[in-house]
Amino acid sequence: MGSRFSRTEAATDRARSLRRRMSPVEQKMWRALRGDQLGVAFRRQHPVGPYVLDFYCPSLKLAIELDGNEHAYRIARDRRRDRYLCELGIAVLRFSNLEVTRNLAGVWEVISAEVRRRGKCPPPELARANSTSPF
């Protein structure tokens, strides 16, 4: 099953809508992830099956999820979603909105380490700087 997974029409429509109205925290994360800064491409609000992933790197099968305050009440739902994604071979990194707001550099380091672990090296300009953080 390549990097494309089936998706429901409802998830595709929801993804389009979510792209148009990203939260300020999602916008901040998107500015950090887009543009191949980690040597891999991420997509935003990407549908997979019935779900929409906040950010997704198809080449690594890596999802980045940002959890707001409401996620404290959605633990069971998030676990079902994570199990579904795991069955597809998709790894999920979760960060709270607060983490992204207060410590984007630390979040970036965790993501960068996972990208390296999954077999990709950072782009040469970042490696030369001896840091994978653009912050």
The pLDDT assigned to 37 comes to 84
- In a structure prediction context, what are the per-residue pLDDT tens digits for the chain, which is 135 residues long? 344 555 667 656 655 555 566 889 999 999 999 987 889 999 998 889 888 899 999 999 999 999 887 655 678 888 898 999 999 999 999 999 999 999 999 999 999 999 999 875 555 444 444 444 555
Region for 39 from its dihedrals, namely left if φ exceeds 0, alpha if ψ lies in -120 to 50, beta otherwise = left
Specify the CATH number for 9-128; select among 2.40.50.100, 3.30.930.10, 3.20.20.70, 3.40.960.10: 3.40.960.10
Domain segments of the chain: what residues?
Answer: 9-128
Q: At what angle do helices 24-33 and 104-117 cross, to 10 degrees?
A: 50
Q: Which residue has the tokens 């998709």?
A: 90
Confidence (pTM): 0.75
Radius of gyration of the CA atoms of the chain, in A: 15
- Give pLDDT, residue 20: 64
